[in-house]
Each structure stands twice: as structure tokens, then as C-alpha cells.
Amino acid sequence: MRIGEIAALVGVTSRAVRHYHHLGLLPEPQRLSNGYRVYSVRDAVLLARIRRLSELGLSLDEVRDVLADDAGRELVEVLAELDADLARQEEQIRARRRRLAELTAGTMPPEGPVSPTLARLLRAMPETDSVVAAKDRELLTLLDVAGGGEEAIYDALHSLIESPDVLALYERLDDLADAAPDDPRVGPLATDLVGLLSDAVLDAMPEQDGPPLEGIGDAILADLAPAQAEVGRRVMEALVEKQRLRTQMKTDGEESG
Amino acid sequence: MRIGEIAALVGVTSRAVRHYHHLGLLPEPQRLSNGYRVYSVRDAVLLARIRRLSELGLSLDEVRDVLADDAGRELVEVLAELDADLARQEEQIRARRRRLAELTAGTMPPEGPVSPTLARLLRAMPETDSVVAAKDRELLTLLDVAGGGEEAIYDALHSLIESPDVLALYERLDDLADAAPDDPRVGPLATDLVGLLSDAVLDAMPEQDGPPLEGIGDAILADLAPAQAEVGRRVMEALVEKQRLRTQMKTDGEESG
DNA sequence: TAGAAACCCTGACGCTGCGGCAAGGTCAAG
DNA sequence: CTTGACCTTGCCGCAGCGTCAGGGTTTCTA
């Protein structure tokens, strides 16, 4: 047989056969005087085994190992391991399909496909043209993909969003779009925002191990108008202080307990 | 944000971010005077979308397409197509696992993992030290992987194998190992073999479209001792003639019908 | 008997989604 | 001043072949 014939016989391409030669899976057969490879039945049998094994999903390296010590002993182990691997892959695919189903089930928010939890939250947000509100939604999608999305956070955000004051606050922020950082409206707005961010929110986000936040905080502020950024800075400051006090109280309590 | 920060924020590596730049998925952001990239919130949002999409299993090219016409219209199509693709993959994996289960269920023949149908046939073959019988088994594994394995062929082979004459015939072939091609035993043996290969076998292998057979026929004969090959040649000849007659009869019947 | 079709040969690049290394430059802290 | 943790560009490697490129050979056909 020549290479095309043996390849057709076992259902692979000539290129694959040469590849197996190259990898040392299949020994190079004798050559005709013109350089053509000539294959024997033994080669075909070996090639067939290679194909069966690789069709099962073994890598060519694994195939070589199995063929090497043809005790048949190791084969069983490899196949068991392979099955476990396939099981993992299957589960991954099913997980993806579940997520796909979830995504295509509801209406797709303009932010693209997000987790159902976040989708609920986004739908719960009041409809508004507010620019700041739009940025807020963007930030939420970030929180979503970052995967830090604990249940508690979403609960807290839901109660935040559903507050009747929220629309007015967005408007007041929007109004600062062209204001100077020392605008007199900055202080009161910051105070009101801190008031809204109840303990529930602070409780919900306790474990922000910091590193990525440094940079992203700056980026968020840089994305806002100067006066808006100033509000943001003050709110952050106040929250950090609030958090510090809470932590300290907790620590004191533990020490005295 | 710098590259490490944005990467940590959305849960990818810096290397991946640079890769997305390279592919044009994510625009190159501004640089600091030292050459460092600085990212805005908008970049992070985009990166997050990229990650969500690619996590779903879209290729990066598909991600780019989806992001390109952000109508959200095309996204639904792509996701549907993706789900179909995943369904296919899942089915493939399950099929492989089914085959694996079948294989590890029975005892593994020394020929390696073969189809259950062939395994049954191999077990049905009489136990013998016959060299020719061993080659026969090898050829069967070839037939197996070639996938030409119609039910009918296996049925026919089963009845062949179970014939009580089969062991004697193998022995007579083995005896020709060192004989000359013109050995007087060649003719009778060929006749007897043709007798055994009943119409059932001929019926079962009607559609051998030829091309691969030319080469493999020679290879099979080359694998045998001279006298054995001579037997093989005669048997083949007789079978071809038999087949020709049958075909002609069939054609005549159709023409007159 | 020539020309075309169908094989064969070697060698090398392409694909996917980055990981890893090399060979640096930069920056904050000890 | 030196670590150590970042950042930069650039290139190789991975699996399993597909697909040229740039030949030569054989075989069928006109």
C-alpha cells in the first residue's frame, strides 16, 4: 500500500499519517526506489490502533505511551483518567449552556449579557436619562464580572435603588456636570449620599482586600466631572472613616470579650 | 488604572489584556510618559464584556464581531449558534464516554479497544495458535476501524467462524508456511475456502468501491508465505468471478423485468 | 505518445489563546 | 542603594494537523 491507500483504509489523511511518523507513533516504512513509502498490513493495524485511541480523545502523546507499554495494563488507567476528564469537560459545557439559556431567556440589557442577578438589579433601577446613573450601571457590570458579587451586596443595592430619593440624588449629581469643585452644592450632596449608604451596604462589602481598588478608584473619579469627582472623594473619605470606626469597635469588642 | 489593575479587576492576566490589544479587541489606551498604559473605566467595562463573551465560549474573533456591530441584534444569533455548537460538542463527548464505558465494561482484547460488535466476533473465534488465524484477527480489526462494518458483514462472519471446518482450514493454511507456490495442496485448499465463503458473505460486502482495496489486497498477500498467498490469489479470483456472475444475473433480471 | 490528472516527496507556515521567557525600564519601600 | 514588584516589547511554544510551495512520478486519457 502507498500512503494514500493506507490513509483511506483507516480513515485518516495522508498528512496525518506523515504526522504520526514525525511524532514517532508509527515507524517509517520502507521506501520504493522513487521515495514513496510502502506500507504493510502490520502498519495498517498499528495505524488503526492509533486512530481508535485518538478518536477516543487521547492525546497523541498518550497514545504513544499506551502503545509503548502494550501491557494493556496502563491502558485501563489512562482510559479511566480520560473518562474523568471528559466528564469535567461535559460539565463545563453544560454549565455554559445553562448560562446561555439564562441569558437568552430574559431581555438582553444594552450592557451585553450579564448575570441574571445583575440583570434583575438593572431592571429594578429607575429609568432615567441621568448620565451619572448610566455610569453607575456600567460600574455595576464591572462588579458583576469581577465575580465579587456576594448575594448580600445585591440585596443591599436593591434596597438602595428602590429608595425614592435615588432619582433626585442622580439629578443633583448631573447638575454638577459643569460646576467647579468648590461649588456650594458639593458638601450637602456628599452628606446626603453618605446618609443613603446605610450600614447594610458597608456590611455587604467588608472584604475588599484593597489592591485593585486603589487604581480603579482613581479611574472612577477621573471619569467624572470635577465637582462630581469631589463629591465622590468626600463620600469615599466618609465611608472609609465610617468603616474604620466600625472595625475598631469590633476589635475592641473582641478584645474585651 | 494600570494594566495589572484592570486585569485583576476583571479577572484576567495582564498578558491577556495585551493580547486583546494585539487582536484589536480592546483599543490601546493612552500611555504615561514612561510608556505604561493607563486605563479608564470605559476600558474596564469593555474588557469585562470581552471576558464575559469569551467565557461563554465565543472565539475572540466572534467576540470582535459581536462588539463591532453592537446592535445587540447579531449577538442573539451568535449565541444561538454557539449553543448549537456546544450541544454538538456535548453530544460528541457523551458518545465518546459511551464508547469508553463499552470498552472498559468487557475484557479488553489484545488488539486494543475495538467496537463491541467486533469484540463479540473475536471472542467467538476459536482459540488457536494458528498464525494465519492471528493475521485474520488483525485484518478484522482493520475492517472495524475502517467503519465499513455493516451489521450484515458481522452476521456473515459469525456464521463463518462458527463453522466446524474453520479450524482445519486454518491448519491447512499454516501448513503451507514453507511450501512452494505450486504445492499440490494449494488448489484443493482454495476450492474448499471458496466453498466456505457462501453467498451470505458475498451479499454482505457488495459495495466495495474499490480504490483502497487494490493496494491492501497486495499488502495482505505480501504478508503471507508464497503458497499461502497463492491460495489467497486463487480465492480472490474465484470470488471476483462469482461476484461478476451474480452481478450479471442481476443485471439481466432487471433488463428483462 | 503527449498532456493532464492524480499521486507522491520535503519543508514550512498557520491556527487558538494565551503562557513563559528574555532583556530590559520604572517606581516605591526598606 | 538595593530589592522587589511592577511595566515594556518581542518571540517561541502548545496540539493536530491543514495548506500551500515547489518539486518529481505514475497513470489515465485523448
pLDDT at B200: 62
Task: Give the pLDDT score at A257.
Answer: 40
Checking if the pLDDT of B29 tops 60, the result is yes
Give the span between the Cα atoms of B139 and B121, in whole angstroms: 13
**B211 sits within 7 Å of strand C by its CB:** yes
Does any CB of chain B come closer than 8 Å to the CB of residue A98? no
Pairing of strands B30-31, A37-38: unpaired
Distance B34 CA to C25 C1' (A): 8
For residue A75, which residues of chain B lie inside 8 Å, CB to CB? 108, 112-113
Q: Considering only CA atoms, give the Rg of chain A.
A: 32
Q: Mind listing the pLDDT tens digit for each residue in B181-198?
A: 999 999 999 998 888 876
Distance CA B68, CA B24 (A): 11
Q: Which of A26-40, A134-148, B50-64, B99-113 has the highest mean pLDDT?
A: A26-40
Whether chain B has a CB inside 8 Å of the CB on A210: the answer is no
- Residue B135, phi then psi, degrees to nearest 5: -65, -35
pLDDT classification of B237: cutoffs 50, 70, 90? confident
Using a CB-CB cut-off of 8 Å, the residues of chain A touching B53 are: 112-113
Q: Do A219 and B40 lie within an 8 Å CB cutoff?
A: yes
- Percent of chain A exceeding pLDDT 90 equals 44
Q: Looking at chain A, which residue has its C-alpha nearest residue B5? A: A212
Average pLDDT, rounded, for chain A: 85
In chain B, which among 168-197 make CB contacts under 8 A with chain A? none
CA B13 → C1' D7, Å?
14
Q: How confident is the model at residue A254 (pLDDT cuts 50, 70, 90)?
A: low
Query: How far apart are alpha carbons B26 and B220 in whole angstroms?
Result: 59
What phi, psi does A226 have (nearest 5°)?
Answer: -50, -50
Predicted local distance difference test score (pLDDT) of residue B204: 65
Q: Is the pLDDT of residue A213 over 70?
A: no
- What pLDDT score was predicted for residue A69? 79
Residue B257 pLDDT: 38
B104-109 contacts: CB < 8 A, separation 24 or more?
Answer: B104/A76, B104/A79, B104/A80, B104/A83, B108/A72, B108/A75, B108/A76
Answer yes or no: is pLDDT of B126 > 90.
Answer: no
Give the side-chain half-sphere CA count within 13 A for A1: 30
pLDDT-based confidence at B209, cuts 50/70/90? very low
Residue found under cell 423485468: B257
Best A86, A93, A103 member to test B by mutation, with max B CBs in 10 Å, is: A93
| CB of A194 within 7 Å of some strand D atom | no
Residue in B with minimal Cα distance to A140:
B45
Structurally, at CATH architecture level, domain B3-68 sits in Orthogonal Bundle (1.10)
Q: Label residue B104 by pLDDT band (50, 70, 90).
A: confident
Residue A209: is its pLDDT beyond 50? no
pLDDT digits (tens, 9 = 90+) for B132-167: 999 988 888 888 876 655 677 788 888 888 888 888
**Across B113-128, average pLDDT:** 84
A205 CA → C28 C1’, Å: 28
Where do the CATH 1.10.1660.10 domains begin and end in chain B? 3-68
Query: What is the dihedral angle through the alpha carbons of A166, A172, A175, A178, rounded to the nearest 10 degrees?
Result: -110
Q: Is B64 on the interface with A (CB under 8 A)?
A: no
Say whether B30 sits in a helix, a strand or coil. Answer: strand
List of B residues 3-42 with CB within 7 A of strand D:
3-5, 14, 18, 35-37
Considering only CB atoms, B10 lies closest to which of A135, A138, A145, namely: A145
Mean pLDDT of A88-97: 91
Q: Is the pLDDT of residue B251 over 70?
A: no
